[in-house]
């Protein structure tokens, strides 16, 4: 079993940590609960932090020369308090790899809080981030940021976890300041990065080679920036297949014609969404074990985050990296 750097994740406190919702409730979310077992959790309830009670009457966002956070029952406007708290909280936050925030909340949501035309009995005119979530999106766009609702989608969850654990691993080796650790990081992530973004993977290799003899901190800074670009978008199915075929090439002399043909057939099925990627990875991994390909066996492509996190989520379709 691989060892993983523990990501630091800020989570909305009502997601299983404290009964702090406006109605005094707590939300038991099995996905968040499972992820929390594998990360270092920092919890926050912005509404309680600005002095609101539990329970309290609900807040809402109203459009009034920008989004305002108001409590219609008391006619109070909490916009400035929430903005002030958010800036203080985020600026005092230590190093962090991701956020899991409560969906639909006028404070925590990252995209789907209702925005009303007025304080009371007025229509919803659009959806937006909550006031706390909005600042997180603005400041931490490069990190793994999701809400608990979207994490029920397997593809979104997987991309979130890959990003989260890759960023945490990078942060861990960056803290050593050693170039050899960066070389090893690049090496063990080679095929995962190729699958995610081949051009950026090559750029990372060039940065690590450091032909210009830059200072180590400059190399790390440049690498981090390019890594964030690599992790920004989901992989294409074609890019993943290229990597699978490349890995298959390791065994081309040892495999029989029927084995090769079976694998190519499975690859074709994967291309047409008929089998999951995990089926192909299992075959490749079994060949790496059989033919003792150590370099392949330490590739993160085969386990980019703790495999226990797959147990809750594998609904029979297995691991995927794409959004297609």
Rounded to the nearest 10 degrees, the angle between the axes of helix 216-231 and helix 179-188 is 20
Give the binding-site size for ligand SF4 (rule: CB under 6 A). 12
Q: Within positions 283 to 302, which residues make up the interface with ligand SF4, using CB under 6 A?
A: none
Residue number with CB closer to ligand SF4 (109 or 244): 109
Using CB under 6 A as the binding rule, whether residue 46 contacts ligand SF4 is answered as yes
DSSP letters, 207-254, are HHH-TT---HHHHHHHHHHHHHHHHTSPBPHHHHHHHHHHHHGGGTTT
Q: Which is nearer to ligand SF4, 18 or 310 (CB)?
A: 18
| CA gap 102, 25 in Å, rounded | 13
Q: Any contact of residue 86 with ligand SF4 (CB under 6 A)? A: no
| Nearest distance, CB of residue 23 and ligand SF4, angstroms | 9
Minimum Å gap between C-beta 44 and ligand SF4 is: 7
SS3 73: coil
Other Cβ atoms within 10 Å of 298 Cβ, number? 14
Closer by beta carbon to ligand SF4, 86 or else 322: 86
Query: Where does this chain touch ligand SF4 (CB under 6 A) — which range of 14-22, 135-143, 213-221, 312-320?
Result: 14-22
Residue 47 binding ligand SF4, by CB under 6 A: yes
Alpha helix positions (H), 105-210: 131-139, 154-174, 179-188, 190-196, 198-209
Backbone phi, psi, residue 101, to 5°: -120, 160
Q: Tell me which residues in 179-238 interact with ligand SF4 (CB under 6 A).
A: none
Q: Which stretch binds ligand SF4 (CB under 6 A): 43-51, 118-126, 242-250, 267-275?
A: 43-51
Interface pick for ligand SF4 out of 107, 166, 299, 300 (rule CB under 6 A) = 107
Residue 272: DSSP 8-state: T
Q: Tokens 């909340």 sit at which residue?
A: 105
User: Segment contacting ligand SF4 (CB under 6 A): 89-97, 99-107, 245-253, 268-276?
Assistant: 99-107
Residue 82 or 244 having the CB closest to ligand SF4: 82
Where on the chain is the footprint of ligand SF4 (CB under 6 A)?
Answer: 12-14, 20-21, 45-47, 102, 105, 107-108
């Amino acid at each position: 079993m691989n060892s993983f750097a523990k990501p630091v994740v800020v989570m909305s406190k009502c997601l299983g940590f404290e009964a702090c919702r406006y109605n005094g409730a707590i939300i038991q979310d099995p996905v968040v609960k499972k992820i929390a077992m594998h990360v270092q959790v920092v919890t926050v309830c912005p509404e309680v932090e600005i002095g609101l009670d539990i329970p309290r009457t609900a807040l809402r966002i109203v459009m009034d020369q920008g989004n305002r956070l108001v409590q219609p029952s008391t006619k109070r406007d909490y916009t400035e308090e929430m903005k002030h708290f958010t800036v203080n909280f985020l600026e005092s936050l230590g190093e962090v790899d991701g956020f899991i925030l409560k969906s639909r909340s006028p404070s925590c949501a990252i995209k789907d809080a209702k925005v009303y035309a007025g304080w009371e009995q007025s229509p919803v005119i659009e959806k937006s981030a909550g006031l706390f979530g909005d600042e997180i999106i603005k400041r931490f766009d490069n990190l793994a940021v999701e809400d608990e609702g979207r994490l029920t989608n397997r593809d979104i969850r997987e991309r979130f976890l890959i990003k989260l654990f890759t960023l945490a691993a990078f942060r861990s080796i960056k803290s050593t300041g050693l170039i050899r650790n960066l070389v090893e990081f690049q090496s063990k992530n080679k095929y995962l990065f190729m699958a995610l973004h081949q051009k950026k993977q090559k750029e990372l290799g060039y940065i690590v080679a450091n032909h210009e003899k830059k200072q180590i901190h400059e190399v790390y800074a440049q690498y981090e920036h390019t890594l964030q670009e690599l992790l920004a978008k989901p992989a294409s199915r074609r890019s993943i297949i290229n990597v699978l075929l490349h890995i298959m090439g390791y065994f081309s002399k040892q495999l029989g014609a029927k084995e090769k043909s079976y694998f190519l057939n499975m690859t074709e099925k994967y291309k047409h969404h008929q089998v999951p990627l995990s089926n192909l990875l299992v075959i490749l991994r079994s060949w790496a074990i059989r033919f003792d390909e150590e370099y392949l066996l330490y590739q993160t492509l085969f386990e980019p985050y703790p495999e226990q996190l797959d147990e809750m989520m594998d609904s029979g379709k297995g691991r995927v990296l794409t959004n297609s």
